[in-house]
Structure 1
Amino acid sequence: MALDLVDYENKAREAVKAFWGNREAARVKQIEAGKADQGERAGVTAGKNMDGFIALVIDVIRANGLADAEIHQKRALLTLPGYFRPTKLWDLLVIHKGELVAAVELKSQVGPSFGNNFNNRTEEAIGTAHDLWTAYREEAFGKQPRPFVAWLMMVEDAAESRAPVRDLSPHFPVFDEFKGASYIKRYDLLCQRLVKEQLYSSATLITSGRSSVTTGAYSEMSAMTGLKAFISQLAGHVAGEAARLK
């Protein structure tokens, strides 16, 4: 059966436009409420910034054989048991016939604090995956095949995120590929290694500037971490699970 990639490029552009549009709408709302001093936090706390990408993921799932699957988006239904902690809240869960088919995390980062946020996102991504796979090993989800676990990151394309970054490591040298690498490059390396180490089935990085609110333009850093890899791998996994669970 041919995979249906659901015209993902056009839908991704719409998701990018919605991302920037929602952030701006939240900022304006804060100003009108007399809370203009909150700056970038206004856009972060809006809570709907990545909804366009969630809709894209749902379209892929529905189009590739799991139209009847339980696709959870409401907060009360998004927790999975952990191993090092009781539960973990995900952004999207797919359950079919009592089995966990997919778990997806969608994150974003907009300047100016790229440094601290990069480290926090890195630690969070690694810890989340390690916790899930250890819980899976201990049969927290029952006896079932490995689910599809994905991490998608949208980073603002800006001078600060593309500028070379210096690191201080007085005792031992950092790996060569990190030396002078921008935060966008570091996110790409992170995504590649999350997949190489089998922490995630797919890890995706897309970048976009604020002017994309009108065009939806976005960029990718590598084929391994690009959106097509994520969409096609998700579609393949869903199609395989649909055939298995008939």
Structure 2
Amino acid sequence: MEMPEPLRGADRMCSLGRFPDEQESALAVSRQDFEDAVAAYWGVKDTQLEVSKIRNAVGAGTAGSVRSGKHFDALAALLAKFFLDAGYPPADIRISGQGLSLPGYYRPQKKWDVVVTHGTTLVAAFELKALGGGKEDDGYSKNYNNRIEEALGSAVDLQRASQPPFYSGEKPWLGYFFIMEDTPGSRSAIRIDNGPFSVEDKWYGMSYQGRFAEYCRRLKAEEIYDEVCYITSSASDPKPKEPVDTLDWLHFSAAINSRIQYLAELGIPQDDMLPL
């Protein structure tokens, strides 16, 4: 008797009930969910109940707040929801507590904010960062370079290590999400210091918002991160602004869904590793 060919990819996912309808799957995480998570970052909207539901559903060791602080709880939970909805085992998804440290090359390991693994594959790792002005609106000048160096260092370190024996599955996927506080201090032009060599002309007259927009464009263009989302927002006006079309939430969420579908076509997650 001839055995039927095993299902793979989208057919396989559908047979498991994970993608019953393409449109439904694409809308599992909505624009409103995103805007609510940003509002929760500023403490404007209470999403504690939804965050608790997702945190309780994902892997062990996630009882605490996310590494970046409780401000990012709602966003971390929202990112986890993409993978929960796609049928990844809860133990594969980590948004706080233990299991967030990943091997590097220039250092032994580094903690990320959201980590999704399956078997030997690093499905996704997310870095969640923000830059605010503080009480005197001077936090931008104090912390701008730190944010640049943190994001570069994290990604370059992991990418350099992204080969066996550390990451022997499919190539790791990295996402970067950044919130710039929208205040006069971040919108004002910043002076360029005089030095022995000139800088690119485009940097002159830029604000911190403009500088970070250009920085995020380059992170994505140079494939330092697989996808980048850059928004501006504030406690007084939490509705996110997306100054760069290609770095908006629509592109970011589409890239996450594409990563999930790509791995599904390769048979990830595997049937024999899913909970019964």
Residue 226 (1) aligns with residue 248 (2): yes
Residue 128 (1) aligns with residue 154 (2): yes
| Inter-partner Cα distance in structure 2 for 1:87 and 1:98 | 17
Q: Which residue does the alignment assign to 1:196?
A: 221
Contact in 2 for aligned 1:71/1:94 (Cα 8 Å):
yes
Distance 1:142-1:109 versus aligned 2 partners, 3 A rule: closer
Q: CA deviation at 1:65?
A: 4.7
| Inter-partner Cα distance in structure 2 for 1:66 and 1:181 | 43
Q: CA deviation at 1:22?
A: 7.4
Q: TM-score, normalised by structure 1?
A: 0.83
Contact in 1 for aligned 2:230/2:247 (Cα 8 Å):
yes
Larger RCO (CA under 8 A, 6+ residues apart): 1
* Residues 136-193 of structure 1, C-alpha deviations (whole Å, 9 max, x = no match): 14x2433222121011001111100000111113211111221111101111111110
Residue 207 (1) aligns with residue 232 (2): yes
Secondary structure at 2:229 match in 1:
strand
| Inter-partner Cα distance in structure 2 for 1:104 and 1:193 | 17
Distance 1:198-1:133 versus aligned 2 partners, 3 A rule: same
Matches within 5 A, 1:94-173: 94-111=116-133, 112=137, 113-137=139-163, 139-173=164-198
Distance 1:4-1:46 versus aligned 2 partners, 3 A rule: closer
Contact in 1 for aligned 2:43/2:235 (Cα 8 Å):
no
Q: 1:159 corresponds to which letter in structure 2?
A: P
Structure 1 regions of 5+ residues with no counterpart? 24-44
Q: Which residue does the alignment assign to 1:12?
A: 34
Residue 48 (1) aligns with residue 70 (2): yes
Count matched residues.
Answer: 221
Secondary structure at 1:129 match in 2:
helix
Q: CA deviation at 1:7?
A: 4.2
Contact in 2 for aligned 1:5/1:235 (Cα 8 Å):
no
| Inter-partner Cα distance in structure 2 for 1:169 and 1:186 | 18
Secondary structure at 1:93 match in 2:
strand
| Inter-partner Cα distance in structure 2 for 1:169 and 1:120 | 21
Give the aligned CA root-mean-square deviation in angstroms.
2.1
Q: TM-score, normalised by structure 2?
A: 0.74
| Inter-partner Cα distance in structure 2 for 1:74 and 1:170 | 43
Contact in 2 for aligned 1:22/1:48 (Cα 8 Å):
no
* Residues 66-91 of structure 1, C-alpha deviations (whole Å, 9 max, x = no match): 35561012332100111000110000
Q: 2:153 corresponds to which letter in structure 1?
A: G
| Inter-partner Cα distance in structure 2 for 1:7 and 1:85 | 35
| Inter-partner Cα distance in structure 2 for 1:142 and 1:12 | 30
Secondary structure at 2:190 match in 1:
coil
Structure 2 regions of 5+ residues with no counterpart? 1-9, 11-21, 46-66, 271-276
Moved more, 110-119 or 88-97: 110-119
Question: Which is higher, the Rg of structure 1 or of structure 2?
Answer: 2
Moved more, 181-190 or 142-151: 142-151
| Inter-partner Cα distance in structure 2 for 1:59 and 1:67 | 12
Contact in 1 for aligned 2:68/2:129 (Cα 8 Å):
no
Distance 1:104-1:54 versus aligned 2 partners, 3 A rule: same
**2:96 paired residue among 74, 77, 84:** 74
